[in-house]
Structures are given as structure tokens and as C-alpha cells.
């Protein structure tokens, strides 16, 4: 069994080897040390942005268990992953299921996408006691993946509002958006909410009423609000643009890189920069400016420049 499934073997015998955190900050392999420098630069960018916007000092708010529900814990490899929807989170959840499954799964791509999102399949940090949470935040390697904020937003819009099968989103958000943003909406549109235009979606996001009403849905919530990078020190910040390299680097640090690779997939339907540019063409400069303000910290923190297509006021 052990020979056939290196995973079971690795997990049973991992203790005693170096943790990912040790390997990251004191690499034993030269190949890992070059990448470590890149990640140090990304970490510094986050720290500097938090400081410049005095987020950490202004109100050092205490994180509640509810703030930690996006942080997936891998006990065996001492890692914590904060998942951000629309940033390869399905594949990363699949990988986490392989890592934490103790040999139950060996190929991430054999796990159906809907199963990766079943909450009971992965353990999140909010399920621990306060001392246990603090211990893990201090001793485990914490990582997240980010993406250009407006590309992520267009990806969320395309997925949730233009696909006919997403009826729960149409009912929950589409009907509300149509009711609030569309003059002379038909009865059918008000009932179904399945034809939300991108301009209406943007108007909904920047509407102060929306922000007061309830937190954003996780698919368009800022990374800053989902993962709290000014309050939690992330050791690694992976980027969607360098997804494979960053992911496989993390798997190498975890000591599983020899037999677990991050799944690569055809990017035929994925939202691109060109596509995002097109979506923003019909958005007024006033709305563009307001929307940029909503996502500004994500742009600054993760070093994304202001998109060239924006006409900011």
C-alpha cells in the first residue's frame, strides 16, 4: 500500500522533517531560495500598504471566528490556505483535500468541483478554539492567491450572472440588482433576475445602500476583507498570473512536490485582460472611479497597477 500510494506514507511519517515555514525562511535548496526573495518582496508590499493606510494601527480590530472561515487548515503539513473565489480556489481546495485526505485522494482532478466546495470536506480555522487558532497562526505557513481585482470581478460577473444554471444567484442578487438599478424593468426580469448587465452590477457594487445592507458576496468581496492580510501575516502570496510556479513552489515547501503537482487546465474560457477592457468600456468614468475606490486596497497591496483602460476622474 505504501509503495503504491506515496501520499499515505508521507503523511504518516512527516513529523521530524522540516516544516514548510522553516523551509521557506531557511531554504535548504538553492532552487527554493531564489523564489523566496520574490515572495519577500510581495510580503513587504502588503506590510507597506497596511502601514501606509494605517489599517493595522488605526483600529487593531480583533478577528472573530467568522473572519476565519476562509482559512483552510492542513494539520499534517502545517499549512493554512485562505481561499479567494475566482482565483483558482476550486483547484486549490482539491489539492488541500489530497493533502489532508490521508491517502483517500491522490489525484486532485479526480475530485468533482462541487465536492471541493462541500464545507465538511475541509477544516477551517474558525472551527478551532482561540488558543489553537493562535498556535496555528503562529506556527503554520499561511498563503493565499490573488488576481488583478477587475479581472476577478469580471470573472465573477460572467460566472454568476451570464450562466443560465446559476439560478440561485439570479434569484438572490439578480432580482435585487434589477429592482434597484433598472428603470421600467419588466415583471419577468424582476422575477428571474437572470439578465443583469455588467453596468447594473457595477452600479450595485458602488451603491452605498449595498455596503450598508450586508457584506459583499465572497465572489466579489475584496481579498482584503476575505483574508485580512493586515491582521494575519501571510508567508506566501501567490498570483493568478504565475499560478503554476507559485503553487508548485508551495507544494515543494510542503515536501510533496515530487508526486503532487498543481493541476494545469485549458484556459479557453477564462477571463482575460482584453475581455475585462471590453466590459469596462460602457462604464462611466464616475462609476469607474467609485469602483476603483472599493477595490483600491487590493490593487495597492498586491502590486497591481491602475488598468490602462480606466478613465478615472
Q: Give 225-240 pLDDT, tens digit per residue.
A: 999 999 999 999 999 9
What was the pLDDT predicted at 296? 96
Give the chain's mean pLDDT.
90
Sign, CA dihedral 153-303-27-261, equals: positive
C-alpha cell at 200: 447594473
What was the pLDDT predicted at 127? 97
Give the three-class secondary structure for 238: strand
Buried b or exposed e, range 264-294, using 16+ CB within 10 angstroms = eeeeeeebeeeebbebbeebeeebbebbbeb
Cβ neighbors of 209 (< 8 A, separation 6 or more) are: 180
Confidence band, pLDDT 50/70/90 cuts, at residue 271: confident
User: DSSP labels for 120-181?
Assistant: GGSEEGGGS-HHHHHHHHHHSEEEEEE--HHHHHHHHHHHHHS-TT-HHHIIIIIHHHHHHH
What was the pLDDT predicted at 4? 36
| Whether pLDDT at 30 is above 80 | no
How much is the average pLDDT of 201-211? 95
Chain segment 137-152, per-residue pLDDT in tens: 999 999 999 999 999 9
Higher local confidence (pLDDT), 34 or 86: 86
| Whether pLDDT at 16 is above 60 | no
What was the pLDDT predicted at 267? 64
How much is the average pLDDT of 264-287? 88
How much is the average pLDDT of 249-267? 88
C-alpha cell at 300: 495597492
Chain segment 46-81, per-residue pLDDT in tens: 999 999 987 655 555 678 888 999 999 999 999 999
What was the pLDDT predicted at 268? 67
Q: Is the pTM of this model over 0.75?
A: yes
Q: What is each CA distance from 34 to 31, 43, 139, 278, in whole angstroms?
A: 6, 15, 23, 37
C-alpha cell at 153: 470581478
What was the pLDDT predicted at 9? 38
How much is the average pLDDT of 7-18? 49
pLDDT cut 70: percent of the chain above it: 91
C-alpha cell at 287: 462609476
What was the pLDDT predicted at 61? 67
Amino acid at each position: 500500500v505504501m509503495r503504491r500510494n506515496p501520499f499515505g506514507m508521507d503523511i504518516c511519517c512527516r513529523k521530524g522533517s522540516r516544516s514548510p515555514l522553516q523551509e521557506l525562511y531557511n531554504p535548504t535548496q538553492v532552487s527554493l531560495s531564489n523564489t523566496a526573495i520574490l515572495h519577500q518582496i510581495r510580503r513587504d508590499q502588503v506590510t507597506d500598504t497596511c502601514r501606509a493606510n494605517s489599517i493595522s494601527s488605526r483600529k487593531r480590530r480583533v478577528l472573530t471566528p467568522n473572519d476565519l472561515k476562509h482559512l483552510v487548515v492542513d494539520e499534517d503539513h502545517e499549512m493554512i490556505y485562505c481561499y479567494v473565489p475566482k482565483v483558482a480556489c476550486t483547484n486549490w481546495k482539491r489539492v488541500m483535500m489530497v493533502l489532508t485526505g490521508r491517502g483517500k485522494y491522490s489525484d486532485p482532478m479526480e475530485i468533482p468541483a462541487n465536492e471541493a466546495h462541500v464545507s465538511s470536506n475541509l477544516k477551517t480555522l474558525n472551527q478551532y478554539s482561540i488558543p489553537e487558532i493562535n498556535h496555528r497562526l503562529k506556527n503554520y505557513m499561511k498563503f493565499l492567491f490573488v488576481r488583478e481585482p477587475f479581472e476577478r470581478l469580471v470573472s465573477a460577473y460572467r460566472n454568476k450572472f451570464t450562466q443560465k444554471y446559476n439560478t440561485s444567484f439570479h434569484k438572490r442578487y439578480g432580482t435585487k440588482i434589477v429592482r434597484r438599478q433598472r428603470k421600467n424593468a419588466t415583471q419577468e426580469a424582476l422575477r428571474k433576475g437572470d439578465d443583469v448587465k455588467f453596468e447594473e452590477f457595477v452600479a450595485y457594487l458602488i451603491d452605498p445602500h449595498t455596503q450598508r445592507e450586508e457584506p459583499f458576496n465572497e465572489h466579489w468581496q475584496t481579498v482584503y476583507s476575505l483574508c485580512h492580510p493586515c491582521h494575519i501575516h501571510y508567508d506566501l502570496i501567490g498570483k493568478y498570473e504565475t499560478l503554476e510556479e507559485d503553487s508548485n513552489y508551495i507544494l515543494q515547501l510542503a515536501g510533496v512536490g515530487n508526486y503532487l503537482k498543481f493541476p494545469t487546465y485549458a484556459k479557453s474560457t477564462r477571463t482575460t485582460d482584453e475581455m475585462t477592457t471590453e466590459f469596462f468600456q460602457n462604464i462611466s468614468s464616475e462609476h469607474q472611479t467609485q469602483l476603483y475606490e472599493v477595490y483600491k486596497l487590493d490593487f495597492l497591496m498586491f502590486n497591481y497597477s491602475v488598468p490602462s483602460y480606466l478613465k478615472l476622474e
